[in-house]
Amino acid sequence: MAMKRLLVLLSLPLFCCAQNPQVNISLGPKSIFFDSSYKKDAVEAFKIASDILNSSAFQDAIKKSSFVYPNHCLTCKILDERSDHHFFGQTVLDSLYKHNVASLNLDLEENEPKGALGSTCPYWDNEDTISRANYQAIYIDMKELPFKYRLAVNLCHEYMHYIGFCHPDAIDRQPDDDTPAPIAYRDDVAYKAGWVAYFIAVKMANGAGK
């Protein structure tokens, strides 16, 4: 009996724990910082972003969603509007884990504290693999989070652009700073991914004791 139990235990790892798909995103060697002291935060932000994108909470939230077709980018500036049907969140996850390693060159700029937190073109239209981030706009957003978590949330959003999802045209307004805009939260891949990442980051940051 004891031997049988041992055999069962030994065979468990083969069958019990199918691993979630993974992606590992990291800071590219050509990254630029308006202040080099933020490089350390950026390295950690990429690790946090990878952990968020690989979490069951992120995968479950995206899997349950569906999005309007024109989230698909043809180029950085042109949406694919050939269909107005919805597609399932699994399509997003398939794109997310298709290339499981990516290095992005972050350009952390200090622009006006308003407007978009960042911008990134899809990988087929992004020769230098650049993701731009506006430190000031990120700094006044998500104030309860340490900066590296704020940057990580932004990277999760930007990475959706990198894998080929642009913002569809119809974006509504947020009722307040802490509540997502309802239509965008429903229809827009990058917007939804950013908010889901934010909710996860708040829990992670609290667990990590800031």
Tell me whether residue 49 or residue 190 sits nearer to Zn ion (CB atom). 190
Binding string to Zn ion for residues 43 to 82, with x set by CB under 5 A, is what?
----------------------------------------
Contact 107, 32 (CB under 8 A): yes
Identify the residue among 121, 190, 193, 197 touching Zn ion (CB under 5 A): 190
HSE (side-chain half, CA atoms, 13 Å) at 145: 26
d(CA 121, CA 170): 19
Q: How far is the CB of 120 from Zn ion (least distance, A)?
A: 7
d(CA 55, CA 73): 25
d(CA 35, CA 59): 34
Q: Decide: is 152 part of the binding site for Zn ion (CB under 5 A).
A: no
Tokens found for residue 14: 């083969």
d(CA 96, CA 79): 19
Tell me whether residue 61 or residue 137 sits nearer to Zn ion (CB atom). 137
* Span near Zn ion by CB under 5 A; candidates 73-81, 134-142, 169-177, 187-195: 187-195
Coil, strand, or helix at residue 165? strand
* Span near Zn ion by CB under 5 A; candidates 32-40, 58-66, 130-138, 186-194: 186-194
Contact 182, 141 (CB under 8 A): no
Tell me whether residue 21 or residue 141 sits nearer to Zn ion (CB atom). 141
Tell me whether residue 53 or residue 190 sits nearer to Zn ion (CB atom). 190
Q: How far is the CB of 157 from Zn ion (least distance, A)?
A: 6
Q: How far is the CB of 167 from Zn ion (least distance, A)?
A: 5
List residues binding Zn ion (CB under 5 A).
Answer: 190
